[in-house]
Structure 1
Amino acid sequence: MEPTNNDVIAIALPKGRLLTPILELFEGIGFPCVKVFSDSRRLIYEDRDRQLRFLILRPADIPTYVERGAADMGIAGKDQLLEQRRDVYEPLDLRFGACRLVVAEPAELHKQDDPHSWSNLRVATKYPNLAEAYFSRKGIQAEIIKLTGSLELAPLVGLAERIIDLVETGQTLKENGLVEVEEIVKSTARLIVNRASLKTKYRRVQDLVEKMRAQVEAHTAGARA
């Protein structure tokens, strides 16, 4: 008998830098089938035996898919969750994909700049809500320019004096002549769950959550040893 939609658990996974540790996580809990995404362009895979459906999406789209029930579960960066403020359940910090959201500016500007004297700024970012909240807390008037990529270019061509962007090592900033000024928030990958699915598919969802939790704890303990 074919599984119904109510039987299947749909899990949204992000393209990009988080995919490799996610595939390792799922392999660790006994789902090596997700490796199909590592060397192909397919966007969906169904494991009929386990009644699982995996979706590969743009990272920024995953909170929407989960909130609206197109996916029962998903993995998203904390930065996206804070920016989008979607109504989803967040049961687990997966403790990988660590990065930081920072304010950065050109090195030449940094030599004479004092963040305590900021009053009116033009800032380019992919995170307008977090940027606005950050400057509002500081009482700073800021014009927020939303971009979707190549933020490092904005100060170089005069579109904005500063940027707010996600960094891991900061190397990309350095290569483009930018200097980190202040950190706004730290981010790691988080497991998120649709609130209705948590009720209607509770046992299966909770089983997956606990398997991932045990794998994360085991990996953390191994790293400390």
Structure 2
Amino acid sequence: MKELTIAMPKGRIFEEAVVMLKEAGYNLPPEFDDSRKLIIEVPEENLRFILAKPMDVPTYVEHGVADIGIAGKDVMLEEERHVYELLDLKISHCYLAVAGLPDTEMNEVAPRIATKYPNVASSYFREQGEQVEIIKLNGSIEIAPIIGLTDRIVDIVSTGRTLKENGLVEYKHIVDITSRLIANPVSYRLMHDRISEMTDRLEKVVNG
């Protein structure tokens, strides 16, 4: 039987997804949680895991180097990859929001928005009927309004602590985010039974 390859993001989603897989009855080795490897083989379950940056997971799945993957809805919205979304795992809850310095108006002429999510941000402001200039940043988004680079930011909010620590406030809630189980369309057809079995087992965990 061909092994099932799963792409997973490092960090919080990985940690929560591993707990779910164990609760679903998958026999993962004890050291799995602490592994620093990028590829982990679990021969007893006929599984192979690829650990990747969150934004890369849908790319790996779309191109078939991974049969399935676990990705945040924020990444799915931003990347718009051709993959099947099988299940909302309801883990890693957060949301995308517009934030900025308190009591400030957006510049009326070409307001600027900093974000890691240029496609999502562009779509949102277009839907609001606002013309903005999007500036893509890869880290420390919160600094952009503070140093005068942009009027607002669009970023992930979990607890709101990071915004508060940097003297920013939330202006608009854009969309709620959770992690999703996704599949490569060809793999889903060729390995339908195995992928469906995993989906069913995880769904039982989701539903408690």
- Partner of residue 208 from structure 1, selected from 195, 198, 203: 198
Amino acid at match of 2:184: N
Query: What is the alpha-carbon distance in structure 2 between the residues aligned to residue 97 and residue 84 of structure 1?
Result: 18
Task: Give the drift of 1:35.
Answer: 4.6
Query: What is the alpha-carbon distance in structure 2 between the residues aligned to residue 34 and residue 131 of structure 1?
Result: 40
TM-score (norm 1): 0.88
Instruction: Decide whether aligned partners of structure 1 residues 118 and 23 sit closer, same or farther in structure 2, where only a CA change above 3 A counts.
Output: farther
Matched, 1:55 2:42: no
Query: What is the alpha-carbon distance in structure 2 between the residues aligned to residue 32 and residue 179 of structure 1?
Result: 44
Unpaired stretches in structure 1, ≥5 consecutive residues: 219-225
Amino acid at match of 1:70: V
Cross-structure match for 1:150:
140
Identity %: 46
- Partner of residue 99 from structure 2, selected from 81, 98, 104: 104
Matched, 1:9 2:4: yes
8 Å contact from structure 2 (residues 83, 184) kept in 1: yes
Cross-structure match for 2:34:
39
Instruction: Decide whether aligned partners of structure 1 residues 196 and 179 sit closer, same or farther in structure 2, where only a CA change above 3 A counts.
Output: same
- Partner of residue 182 from structure 1, selected from 172, 176, 189: 172
Instruction: Map 1:97-136 onto structure 2 (within 5 A).
Output: 97-109=92-104, 113=105, 120-136=110-126
Instruction: Decide whether aligned partners of structure 1 residues 25 and 35 sit closer, same or farther in structure 2, where only a CA change above 3 A counts.
Output: farther
Tell which structure's C-alpha radius of gyration is larger.
1
Three-state SS of the structure 1 residue aligned to 2:139 is coil
TM-score (norm 2): 0.95
Unpaired stretches in structure 2, ≥5 consecutive residues: none
